[in-house]
Structure 1
Amino acid sequence: MQTNLERIKSHIENLDRFTATPGQGTTRLTYSKEDLDARNYLKQEMAKVGLTVSEDAIGNIYGRLEGANPDLPAVIVGSHFDSVPNGGAFDGPAGVITGLEVASVFHEQQMKPHFPLEIIAMVEEEGSRFGAGLLASRAITGKVTTEMLHEMKDIAGITAAEAMASVGFDANRVHTAIRTKESIKAFIELHIEQGPVLENANEDVALVDTVVGLTQIKVTVKGQAGHAGTTPMLDRKDALVSAVEILGQLPELAIQEGGGTVLTVGKLNVYPNGANVIPDKVIFTVDIRAKDEIHVQNTLTKTKKIIQAAEKNGITCEIEDMIYQQPTHLSKEIHQALTKSADQLGFKYRTMVSGAGHDAMIFASLTEVGLIFVPSHKGISHAPEEWTDYDKLQKGIEVVLETVKKWTEESANESENKTSSFK
């Protein structure tokens, strides 16, 4: 292999040291001290392998290896370096280190790409600090405004704009982070699978062709509070009982729909939440995901019918549509290139649908995008136990390296003749 296993391991372990919760997983929130420490480390390592280092207005870190023709669009490799609270060492950094390792091989072998090569380490993908997931890629694609950064706050009431200023970034210049379609030839992201499929199948990598469509709704079930001891059973308007009747029917909807549809009730709050009080209000969320939009729509329609049918005997229900995201189909060309690289390297692979959102899906509105997964031990992620074997990570990086070598060496005419799958 051309990549260096010990170097990959060292980078992952070094980044993992920048945590607010030593011994309790990785906690590296955007614009925090830990962010700053990790940022300085990454900039230093980028410079060591001959990259020109810069930061954009939102705080993304770029390392650029100039191409033989600097006016051509760049091939970008990277991911995010923030984390959830008490998360793992691989979610995000695996993709950042992929870019750094690709650049290291280019540097060691003194390869001069025809197209510029850029690696990127992005902020606030998780949304753990400001509740604004995929913030970096949304800023790059022009979907973040100065006003938004002044409005979004963390749990301590600090705005994103204030936090940015504390580490040297200016929310009023966020528009300068926008990249044009003409400046990017492709974006490739490696990520851990965050599920058990690859490990269970003893496969090396997954090549993602689609990021699922999803919808989230918030449901409020209202009844009437009452004394737990003095209100007869037949006279009750128990919001929790009605909510449970709804919830018990929902998983079967996804099973019957098929097509890989999944449905999750991940949040539930009961009011007034007293042991001797009949609940008068229950609020819960429903998350529905599928590769094909029709399955999302069908399951959502049936879910709403079940909720509406619960409005009886003094119970009322309110439904708030929170998120609706269409499936994102990634570049067929890059998928084919990744597949060819995996074949040539002799690795075991499959095509997979991503059930989670990633920065790659945001870049898909801007350029050709590829997404590759490496195995997660026992499927665990967003936890201190998150783990990917380093030899598996190295194999994923090798696939990216081979693909990047091809995509940065194509002639300008070949690139200009390509038709993006997003146009």
Structure 2
Amino acid sequence: MFKANKHRIQTHIESLARFTATPGHGTTRLSYSKEDAAARHYIKQEMNKLGLAVREDAVGNIYGRLDGALKNAPAVIIGSHFDSVPNGGSFDGPAGVVTGLEVAALFQEYGLEPQYPLEVIAMIEEEGSRFGGGVLGSRMIAGQISPADLTEMKDSAGLSAAEAMEKLGFNAADIGSALRTGNDVKAFLELHIEQGPLLEEAAQDVGIVQMIVGMTEIRITVKGKSGHAGTTPMEGRADALAAAVSILKELPGMVLGEADRPVLTVGKLDVLPNGANVIPNQVVFTVDIRSANSGTIQRILRKIGQLVTDAEMPGIAFSTEELLYADPVEMSADIQSLLIENCEKLSLRYRKMVSGAGHDAMIFAGFTDTGLIFVPSKDGISHTPEEWTDYAQLQKGIEVAFETIVQLTEAKKKSSNTEM
């Protein structure tokens, strides 16, 4: 029976956790930052140690490739992202990257040769923490982002994604070379922490994801006019914050009463100029909507659009921008069957699940067979420094991933040349 190396897994997780802008306060690793550069150096170094052919695509996604015996065959890809939310945890994203590294290490240790090429991937900007929208690395791989988009996406300092890429030596204009399709990708497998309490509460080892819910993220901008807090009469004000509140207070009620129980979150709000004695002249906030039914998402978006249209006020301008839209996505039934088979082979307790969080897997599912594995999260906590998954639980999930990758790549023992 193949066994993953728990010590090696722990070392990788803890090593990547060091690359943070907020030491002692969780992981803050934004895409194309100096922390990103340090983490990518570590990942490439470890890929090289495993004998993988290492490359970075034009936009900064990292690949480590083990060629297969079949020439010009499509690759089986395993991995996740290595960026983080501000003050996040050590496992969200890196657990999947480490899974890829450990799978490659096991191929090396047990002398396995894939028939189909094996690629380990570490992707950028899944969280959307720097440029908004999320799953940017995989969306660029899928051809959903243009050079113009990368010029228009800006961080809080006004730096575009294209400019940030260039600082690390990447080229937004060459984004087309990052494209992958079903012609050169046979399958994609991602392991992720659950970020919820179900597996832990049920004392189960592995979640096999059947579907990822649909989601959208929009940005609403409200523009007014600044003025002195003490000398501008109330009836003459164009207060952007007061106007924004008229919308904000209505949003939670828009999802109540929907049969499929969608969720809506206002996760980011910026008030300008943000002075205690200055009337706000601009408010920008994001609205995140998630549902297993695309019709529900569209209905809520129409309600928000009508709310913004009806919110006309003197001196106030409203605008809405879509940052991300993804329909609900089903994972490959064939890969789910393999995952179930391997959980049973390893005597692991598993359950089928729906993911309420978005993952790179939902983008890959648009062009190749895709599977998503969950491992338990302590107390269901994520996106905080307290985020934790026991290394023994992560090891179990990685062993399921490894067995599945062996099947997907049709790997054989180099010495005996007999099928695994």
Q: TM-score by structure 1 length?
A: 0.83
| Structure 1 portions without partners, runs of 5+ | 412-423
| Structure 2 portions without partners, runs of 5+ | 413-420
Contact 2:240 2:283 in 1 (8 A): yes
RMSD of the TM alignment (CA)?
3.5
Deviates more, 1:84-93 or 1:237-246: 237-246
Match of 1:371 in 2: 372
Q: 3-state SS of the aligned residue for 1:181?
A: coil
Contact 1:73 1:185 in 2 (8 A): yes
Match of 1:128 in 2: 129
Distance 1:296 1:204, change over 3 A: same
- Mapped to 1, the partners of 2:36 and 2:111 lie a distance apart of 31
Match of 1:362 in 2: 363
Match of 1:194 in 2: 195
Structure 1 position 369, deviation (Å): 0.9
Distance 1:269 1:27, change over 3 A: closer
- Per-residue CA distance 1:370-401 (angstroms, 9 max, x = gap): 11111222222222111111111111111111
Q: 3-state SS of the aligned residue for 2:102?
A: helix
Match of 2:95 in 1: 94
% identity of equivalent residues:
57
Amino acid at match of 2:167: S
Distance 1:250 1:207, change over 3 A: same
Contact 2:222 2:244 in 1 (8 A): yes
Match of 1:419 in 2: none
Q: Answer yes or no: is 1:320 the counterpart of 2:330.
A: no
Deviates more, 1:241-250 or 1:107-116: 241-250
Match of 1:174 in 2: 175
Match of 1:111 in 2: 112
Structure 1 position 341, deviation (Å): 1.6
Match of 2:11 in 1: 10
Correspondences of 1:375-386 after superposition (within 5 Å):
375-386=376-387
Structure 1 position 219, deviation (Å): 5.7
Contact 2:112 2:411 in 1 (8 A): no
Contact 1:12 1:89 in 2 (8 A): yes
Structure 1 position 343, deviation (Å): 2.3
- Mapped to 2, the partners of 1:171 and 1:186 lie a distance apart of 26
Deviates more, 1:59-68 or 1:200-209: 200-209
Match of 1:211 in 2: 212
Deviates more, 1:161-170 or 1:392-401: 161-170
- Per-residue CA distance 1:205-232 (angstroms, 9 max, x = gap): 2111222112345567899999999999
Amino acid at match of 1:190: L
Amino acid at match of 2:328: P
Distance 1:62 1:283, change over 3 A: closer
Match of 1:56 in 2: 57
Q: Answer yes or no: is 1:392 the counterpart of 2:396.
A: no
Structure 1 position 76, deviation (Å): 0.3
- Mapped to 1, the partners of 2:272 and 2:156 lie a distance apart of 22
- Mapped to 2, the partners of 1:38 and 1:334 lie a distance apart of 30
Q: 3-state SS of the aligned residue for 1:256?
A: coil
Q: 3-state SS of the aligned residue for 2:89?
A: coil
- Per-residue CA distance 1:185-209 (angstroms, 9 max, x = gap): 0011111122222222222221112
Contact 2:243 2:316 in 1 (8 A): no
Contact 2:206 2:376 in 1 (8 A): yes
Distance 1:255 1:8, change over 3 A: same
Structure 1 position 178, deviation (Å): 1.4
- Mapped to 1, the partners of 2:156 and 2:302 lie a distance apart of 34
Contact 1:376 1:387 in 2 (8 A): yes
Structure 1 position 33, deviation (Å): 2.4
- Mapped to 2, the partners of 1:263 and 1:78 lie a distance apart of 29
Correspondences of 1:8-407 after superposition (within 5 Å):
8-131=9-132, 133-217=134-218, 250-267=251-268, 285-301=286-302, 320=320, 322=322, 323-407=324-408
- Mapped to 2, the partners of 1:167 and 1:25 lie a distance apart of 24
Distance 1:259 1:151, change over 3 A: closer
Amino acid at match of 1:38: A
Structure 1 position 50, deviation (Å): 2.2
Match of 1:414 in 2: none
Q: 3-state SS of the aligned residue for 1:182?
A: coil
Deviates more, 1:379-388 or 1:75-84: 379-388
- Mapped to 2, the partners of 1:270 and 1:129 lie a distance apart of 18
Contact 2:65 2:117 in 1 (8 A): yes
Q: 3-state SS of the aligned residue for 1:388?
A: coil
Contact 2:224 2:317 in 1 (8 A): no
- Mapped to 2, the partners of 1:217 and 1:82 lie a distance apart of 21
- Mapped to 2, the partners of 1:160 and 1:242 lie a distance apart of 30
Q: 3-state SS of the aligned residue for 2:15?
A: helix
- Mapped to 1, the partners of 2:270 and 2:173 lie a distance apart of 38
Distance 1:200 1:319, change over 3 A: farther
